């Protein structure tokens, strides 16, 4: 790797067409290069199906890459808890079992949403949703896109507000893993578990957030997402202090979804960029676990 690559900025949280983003893994990596990033991690919901393609594209473009995944965990309403897993081995049998289980939870939920929409007089089908997804993991943003295309709502946001969000008319939850299970499975898949966008936990105060994070650390959490599109500067500072308190790696990313979240640009999180050092620290921790396994570990 050239020393020049160690400068600049990275994005450690984004979604491709393997889940609910709208760019292919290759196009996502090309955009990262165009936007001047020196490294990228792909973190699709519940699947690592895009990481092989992204790793090859990153090799061709000359940027560094880490495979990742984002897993939704059980957590009391109205909060949501998402766990990022960095450096997971895409060929690990544990990972295959994990993703099969998570996707089964979606396959069980998505037809319930469509059936409820039909009861409400909204004529869409699972076939249309599957065609919209065209990938491995079908999520609510795909249902939202069908609703927009067919004129039932004016935007993705409107689709969530009216139908798909937690207070929407056609909301159904999916089966989730506990945080204990998710953390353990990420470790067993060769990866590093990191708490995504802590703001979305909707903890009432600093003490409560501290307790939640401490419990996760006791379960094996190794990092905290400090920079994210939902975090303002003061939140990011708070999360950075919390990461330091518990000796956690700091991570950050935009949570880019392409056209499914139009206001987010790859490499930019609410006006902030993610420093290259954070990627290097993550990769060094991974390399300290076991010898690098080649392309998957992004030794670019």
Given the rule CB under 6 A, which residues bind ligand AMP?
20, 45, 139-141, 156-157, 160, 165, 257
39: which strand partners?
A: 10, 64
Q: Which of 110, 141, 168 is nearest to 261 (CA)?
A: 141
Q: Which of 11, 20, 46, 128 binds Zn ion (CB under 5 A)?
A: 20
- The answer to the question of residue 255 lying near Fe ion (CB under 5 A) is yes
Minimum CB distance to ligand AMP, residue 190 (Å): 24
Closer to Fe ion by CB, 11 or 70: give it.
70
Binding mask 181-200 for Fe ion (x = CB under 5 A): ---------------x----
Separation CA 95–CA 97 (nearest Å): 5
Strand 223-228 with 249-253, pairing: parallel
Strand 249-253 with 192-195, pairing: unpaired
- The answer to the question of residue 46 lying near Fe ion (CB under 5 A) is no
Separation CA 194–CA 137 (nearest Å): 21
With contacts defined by CB under 5 A, how many residues of the chain interact with Zn ion?
2
Minimum CB distance to ligand AMP, residue 144 (Å): 7
Binding mask 207-246 for Fe ion (x = CB under 5 A): ----------------------------------------
Binding mask 73-112 for Fe ion (x = CB under 5 A): ---------x------------------------------
Chosen from Fe ion, ligand AMP, Zn ion, none, partner binding at 140 (C-beta under 5 to 8 Å by type): ligand AMP
Tell me whether the omega of the peptide bond preceding residue 268 falls within 30 degrees of 0, making it cis. no
Separation CA 138–CA 246 (nearest Å): 35
Q: Which stretch binds Zn ion (CB under 5 A): 16-24, 91-99, 151-159, 270-278?
A: 16-24
CB 37 within 8 A of CB 267: yes
For residue 233, what is the enclosing H or E element? helix 233-245
Q: Which of 31, 45, 35 is nearest to 273 (CA)?
A: 35
The residue behind tokens 């060769």 is: 190
List the structure tokens of 170.
Answer: 């056609």
Closer to Zn ion by CB, 15 or 283: give it.
15
Minimum CB distance to ligand AMP, residue 137 (Å): 8
Closer to ligand AMP by CB, 29 or 164: give it.
164
Minimum CB distance to ligand AMP, residue 3 (Å): 36
Residues in the chain: 300
CB 162 within 8 A of CB 169: yes
With contacts defined by CB under 5 A, how many residues of the chain interact with Fe ion?
4
Separation CA 101–CA 183 (nearest Å): 15
Report the residue closest to ligand AMP, judged by CB.
139
* Binding site residues, Zn ion, CB under 5 A: 15, 20
* Binding site residues, Fe ion, CB under 5 A: 70, 82, 196, 255
């Amino acid at each position: 790797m050239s020393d020049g690559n160690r400068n600049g900025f990275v994005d450690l949280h984004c979604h491709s067409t393997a889940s609910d983003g709208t760019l292919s893994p290759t196009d996502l990596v090309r955009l990262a290069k165009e936007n001047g990033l020196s490294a990228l991690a792909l973190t699709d919901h519940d699947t690592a199906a895009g990481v092989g393609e992204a790793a090859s594209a990153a090799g061709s473009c000359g940027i560094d890459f880490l495979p990742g995944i984002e897993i939704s965990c059980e957590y009391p309403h109205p909060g949501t808890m998402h766990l990022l897993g960095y450096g997971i081995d895409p060929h690990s049998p544990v990972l295959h079992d994990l993703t099969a289980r998570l996707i089964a939870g979606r396959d069980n939920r998505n037809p319930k949403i469509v059936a409820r929409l039909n009861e409400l007089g909204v004529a869409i089908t699972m076939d249309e949703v599957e065609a919209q997804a065209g990938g491995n993991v079908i999520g609510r943003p795909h249902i939202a896109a069908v609703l927009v295309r067919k004129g039932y709502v004016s935007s993705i946001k409107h689709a969530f507000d009216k139908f798909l969000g937690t207070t929407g008319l056609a909301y159904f939850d999916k089966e989730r893993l506990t945080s204990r299970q998710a953390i353990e499975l990420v470790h067993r898949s060769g990866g590093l578990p990191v708490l995504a966008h802590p703001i979305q936990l909707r903890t009432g105060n600093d003490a409560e957030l501290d307790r939640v994070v401490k419990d996760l650390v006791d379960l094996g959490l190794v990092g905290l997402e400090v920079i994210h599109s939902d975090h303002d500067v003061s939140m990011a500072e708070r999360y950075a202090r919390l990461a330091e308190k518990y000796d956690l790696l700091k991570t950050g990313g935009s949570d880019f979804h392409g056209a499914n979240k139009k206001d987010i640009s790859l490499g930019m999180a609410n006006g902030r960029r993610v420093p290259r050092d954070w990627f290097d620290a993550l990769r060094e921790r991974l390399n300290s676990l076991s010898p690098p396994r080649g392309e998957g570990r992004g030794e670019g």
